[in-house]
Amino acid sequence: MHDKDDGTRAVQWVELVWSFLAAAKGEWPTTNASGMLVAGSRVGLLAGGFFLIVWGCKGDTEFHCNHFRIPSHWSSNFPCADCPADTSTSPMRWSNFKADAPWKVLGFAGNTERWLRHVAARGKNAHIIFKAVADGGPGLGTEHLFRDTLHICCLGILPHLLGNTLWELCFTTIISSVRTPAGRMNEVWERITDKYKQRQTGSQFNWIDLSTFADETRPNAEYPTLSGKGAEMRHLLPVLLTLAFRFYQFCYAKLKRKQNKTQATTITQPQPKPRQQNNKHENKLNARVACSKI
Ligand SMILES: [Zn+2]
């Protein structure tokens, strides 16, 4: 099978959609998928008055991209199937998470027309499952494509979340007892392995160093992203969450102690006496004001 519109897969989908529509109507179809009358076909209710609506399509992101040819491949300029966020440097960039980011209000869910315009603008033909019932399709939208946890969470969000947390712990002074990023990384890794043992974690990272999530020589050059397998990411999340929380708590408590100490010093510090010259100047002014009143 291949991905062309006029290929075997497209013919199969015409047959599938024909059966979906008959099931949604709840009646035996009297025509075949090409619209031709079928002699001697059964008539009447298909399931005693029950009907079936297709409301979801399960598959991983790769399948949805390749099979339905939707313009949302992660390596394309429009990597999202739910909105027109892109990879440009404009406010439409996918990484613009400001409150007024324009892609936030241009989602495709519940707006199939917008989705179809987006597909056409990318030079693609919409798959038959996205066509309205009136146009011979089952009328599905992007919101009916189920998202898979592996690609969206474990290999999608977690590499950024975990990479950013590790970056914060290693390239800032949250862990102030160690001077260098590499030293902080060793500290964090030791604690991760301890937690792995305590929790008897099944899928563990064999090793994490700075190069696993950042460029050690240019740590601000790219977004921190942790490399690893989905299961490793999933099992690292609770471990790193606990560690990061403790480090932040410790850092916050230290900052608070420092602030309290500074305030105490400010309160007990003797106030400087006004300089004599100022007093003289003030006396002169007061004398002038007094004179003018008189
Ligand atoms: Zn999106």
Distance CA 165, CA 47 (A): 54
Written as six digits, the tokens of 167 are: 């970056």
CA of 82 to the centre of ligand 1 (A): 5
Task: State whether the Cα torsion 82-83-87-89 is positive or negative.
Answer: negative
Expressed in angstroms and rounded, the spacing between residue 159 Cα and the centre of ligand 1 is 18
- Percentage of the chain with pLDDT > 90? 54
What pLDDT shows up at residue 285?
Answer: 42
* pLDDT of 108 above 90: yes
Residue 292: predicted pLDDT: 39
- Asked if pLDDT for residue 134 goes beyond 70, the answer is yes
Are 162 and 96 part of one and the same domain?
A: no
Domain boundary among 147, 171, 186: 147
Identify whether residues 123 and 205 lie together within a single domain. no
Token pair for 187: 């500290």
Cα of 91 vs centre of ligand 1, distance in Å, is 13
Whether 212 and 242 share a structural domain? yes
Number of folded domains in the chain?
Answer: 2
> Each residue of 160-215: pLDDT tens digit?
999 999 999 999 988 888 899 999 999 999 999 999 999 999 999 999 999 999 99
Query: Ligand 1 centroid to 132 CA: how many Å?
Result: 23
Residues 272-281: pLDDT tens digits?
655 555 555 4
Residue 277 lies in a domain: no
CA distance 54 to 144: 9
- Indicate whether 108 and 155 sit together in one domain: no
- Residue 85 CA to ligand 1 center (angstroms) comes to 6
Q: How far is the CA of 108 from the centre of ligand 1 (A)?
A: 9
Residues within 5 A (CB) of ion ligand 1: 80, 82-83, 85
Q: What does pLDDT average to over the chain?
A: 87
Q: Band the pLDDT of 41: cuts 50, 70, 90.
A: confident
> Could you tell me the distance, in angstroms and rounded to a whole number, from the CA of residue 111 to the centre of ligand 1?
14
| 171 is a domain residue | yes
Check whether residue 110 and residue 211 sit in a common domain: no
Rounded distance from Cα 171 to ligand 1 centre (Å): 30
Report how far residue 164's alpha carbon sits from residue 222's, in angstroms, rounded to the nearest whole number. 11
Over the stretch 115-132, which tens digit does the pLDDT of each residue have?
A: 999 999 999 888 999 988
pTM score? 0.65
CA of residue 79 to ligand 1 center, whole Å = 8
For residue 284, being part of any structural domain is answered with no
- Write down the pLDDT at residue 269: 64
Range of the domain at 13: 8-34+50-147
pLDDT of residue 92: 97
Mean pLDDT value across residues 236-261: 90
Say how many Å lie between the CA of residue 4 and the centre of ligand 1: 26
Could you report the per-residue pLDDT of 80-90, keeping only the tens digit for each? 889 999 999 99
57 class by beta-carbon count within 10 Å (0-12 exposed, 13-18 middle, 19+ buried): middle
- Report how far ligand 1's centroid is from the alpha carbon of 50 (Å): 36
